[in-house]
Amino acid sequence: MKEAYPNSIDFLPQYVYNNNMLKEFQGIEYSPFRVPCIFGYVYLSKPNFKPGVKTDFCLISRKDCRRPGRRFITRGLDTDGCAANFVETEHIFSQDNKSGSMNVASYV
């Protein structure tokens, strides 16, 4: 059933801006209109570190929606310990070896 409704995925509520609206459909597990909206950025690149070695780089960032705001107005922590304008960023490097295997490194 998940193949028919790929938008019905598990998500972390602190990164979904329309989480309050999605709570209304909490009992419906698979639905085409249940789409989480995440404010983020994805960058894909193929850097050439070593000639002849295929390398892929992926940068993924997503912003926490619990304390959004403009940079100079929203600052510090709240009483729950949520930082203002917090962004989680992950770097993923993958490199093909000559032996046919692949090395993958991920940094959060």
The Cα 90–Cα 51 span in angstroms is: 26
Give the residue carrying structure tokens 């028919």: 4
The Cα 58–Cα 63 span in angstroms is: 17
The Cα 32–Cα 21 span in angstroms is: 14
- Per-residue pLDDT reduced to its tens digit, 26-72: 777 677 777 888 889 999 999 988 888 889 999 999 988 887 777 67
The fraction of the chain above a pLDDT of 90, given in percent, is 19
Q: Using 50, 70 and 90 to split pLDDT, how confident is the model at 84?
A: confident
Name the token pair of 1: 């059933």
pTM: 0.69
8-state DSSP, 78: -
Nearest Cα to Cα of residue 87 among 14, 11, 18: 14
Residue 70 has φ and ψ, to the nearest 5°, of: -75, 150
